[in-house]
Structure 1
Amino acid sequence: MKKFFYILLVAGLFFGFSSCEGDEPTTDQPQTEIPEDGGDDNGDDNGNNDSENPNPVEGDVLVVYYSFTNNIHTIVTDLLTQIEADVVRIEPAEKGLDYAANNYALGSALVAAIRENPDDASSYPAIEPVEVKLENYSTVIVAAPLWWSNMAAPLQTFLFNHGSEMADKNIGLIVSSASSGISGVEADAKRLIPDGNFLTPSLWIRSSQTSNCHALTAEWLENIGLIK
């Protein structure tokens, strides 16, 4: 059994097969939102691509994730029943913040600040310190909620700080979304990990697919070559 970083997720097994609802707000988007049609811009409804991945995954795996509503936590917990991986859960430095209050006003403001100055470290919210030796991993799976068409701000902070250390590593992306397409989250990941080898397809789990969370994850792992 591999050593888990930061959080072992044993308690998360209780939730392993519960529903995987999207982490995005379902209400109307604020003025900071960039409109999108929410269409299927990432393959079919399951986020699958029939083409064989040219770079099958080999070696040690790290999962890095952030979860406000615990939906991504549920997905990651299920993932760990299917593969062995070390895990880092990203946590904001400031505790007790309610990102969902006032129509997700705080979450929207954090994402808007990053959009304004994506190259400025001060645009990113502070997170709890993370100790991880990325050189020990050939594959990093990033599991992210969608916030107003973008990757959740705390996870963007981690990738801003460590994305350069992921050069030439295989990068898998899992996104939780209620309905909107995930192209914005994919763009954030590629901006923050500019030299990563992104495995296709990304895994998009939407609210309408909650009952098939385990099956979708298993199929995706096979598609990217992590399980046979």
Structure 2
Amino acid sequence: MRVTDAKIGAFLRRGGLLSLFFLTSLLCLPSKPVHADQGKDLFDHGKYEEAVAWWKQASLSRNDHEAEFRLGDYYESGVVEPENLPEAAKWYELAAKGGHVAAQFALGSFYEAGAGLSPSPESAAYWYGECARRNHANCQFNLGRLASSGPPEKQDLVAAYKWYYLAAKNGFLEFDAEELTKLGARLSSAQKKEAVKQAVAFKPVE
């Protein structure tokens, strides 16, 4: 993670988790709209203003969620112009509401970190849950982490074990088996059995 609270969400993706996200979910992501490629081509050729204008028009005219995700990434990265996290959050949210998995992960990270919007563990859990239910391992890991942290009265260790179990099963590359073992030690045998039962019965949302 990036160390500062304001940028923790960006690091979750750029410092490792985003690359792992794409590695673990490449085959599961819905096909990119062909339309978004033109904006990317413009961007790759250094025509940044034209690319941004094209993506915005694609969002406006076609509800192109891939274009919205690219806009979020553009404003978050700060590569071409100064980082603008509130603007990034706006575009990520549009894409996330349209079912864009990477945008759901990004928006969850923003809510967790309070990057560009007010921090909200509940909203972070909601958006991590959206992509976790689509069987993406790093979202499952983050959801498990949230469920097992915070005040004891807000923890759900059965759910946490379920999501950690699924993240490990789905090959989350940074998963430490000791974490699952430590979490399992906090559960009764009945709770652990129930968590595994839920994990085995889990059916991803298409």
Q: TM-score surpassing 0.5? A: no
Normalized per residue, the structure richer in strand is 1
Higher-Rg structure is 2
TM-score using structure 1 length: 0.26
Normalized per residue, the structure richer in helix is 2
Higher relative contact order (CA 8 A, sep 6+): 1
